[in-house]
Amino acid sequence: MKNKLLFAILIILSSFSLKAQNNRVNIVEKDERIVQDSSEMNLKKKVAIGRFSNETQYGKGIFYNKDHDPMAKQAQDLIVSKLASSDKFLLLERSDLSALDQEVNLSGRDLVQRVGADYLIIGSITEFGRKTTGKSKMFSKAKTQTVEATVSIRIVDVYSGMIIFSDESSGTSEVTTKTVIGLGGRAGYDATLSDKAISAAIDKMVENIIIKCTNDPWKSYFLSVDENEIFIAGGASQGLEPGISLLVKKRGKQVKNPQTGLLVELPGKIIGKVVIETTIGDTPESEISMVSYSGEELDVNNLGEYIIEEDVA
């Protein structure tokens, strides 16, 4: 009787073990077929922070060097810091770029290759001033130091070379000291007020910058296509990883808008998709990804005619 009971237990345990093995096999087979939807990923766009200039007369003495303006550098550092805290972009410093008017003379792939980003942000401090006001009463005095700053920014879509957004915002910072019957705080000019005023101005526009730079789908481009390997721009630091699926579009033709005199690109046509196989590279500038492609045949001699986009549908 004991032997029969032991035999029955062994049969039951074997049955559970076989089911568990089958379940593991099914899970593995299912995992191998998974292709991740890019809309579920946080694909980070590259945003280049270009030149920031000080267009005011503040701090411009006889030895002034516009390429090393402390206020301009301060504004640039602040906007980099605030955009970095959003964790939505890869930020690249491009302060060595020349003026915007010269940049937009380039177009398409020329500008993309030079800037190496999706968007280029250029800014300036357009107004800066400080004042001291005071109030005197019979037994007390109060002195208020106030600094006001206005910052202007422009966002250039690197792919089209067009300014897609501009904004201007002002910020104020102040500190008050009081004395009563000659007792109390006495303070000279507070240098941190300049930092706070510029920071306050930038705070007001950061949300708009983030919204504008995240409105459009993440984009990439073919770098090389042959029978054995296909490479696209972008890698792990932008959120790409094996299994992510992206759309391939053929660019629409360009037509001239009679109202503005500018060329406008018509919507492209979806012709296929790529799936990330592996990512390569150590820095955001050098990262690339190897992909597999399915869809209409690609014209390998005109890879600039194609755009790779995340599927936001």
Model confidence at 133, pLDDT cuts 50, 70, 90, reads: confident
The residue among 138, 148, 134 whose CA lies nearest residue 186 is 134
The structural domains of the chain, ordered by start, are 45-126+151-170+186-214 (3.40.50.10610), 219-310 (2.40.10)
Is 50 exceeded by the pLDDT of residue 20?
no
Give this prediction's pTM.
Answer: 0.71
Is 60 exceeded by the pLDDT of residue 69?
yes
pLDDT for 24 equals 37
Query: How high does pLDDT run on average in the chain?
Result: 77
Answer with the residue of higher pLDDT: 313 or 193.
Answer: 193
pLDDT for 140 equals 63
Q: What is the pLDDT of residues 190-202, one digit of tens each?
A: 667 888 888 899 9
* Contact assessment for residue 105 and residue 95, using Cβ atoms and an 8 Å cutoff: no
Written as one string, the DSSP assignment of 255-297 is: EE-TTT--EEEPPPEEEEEEEEEEEE-SSTTT-EEEEEEEESP
Is 50 exceeded by the pLDDT of residue 47?
yes
pLDDT for 229 equals 92
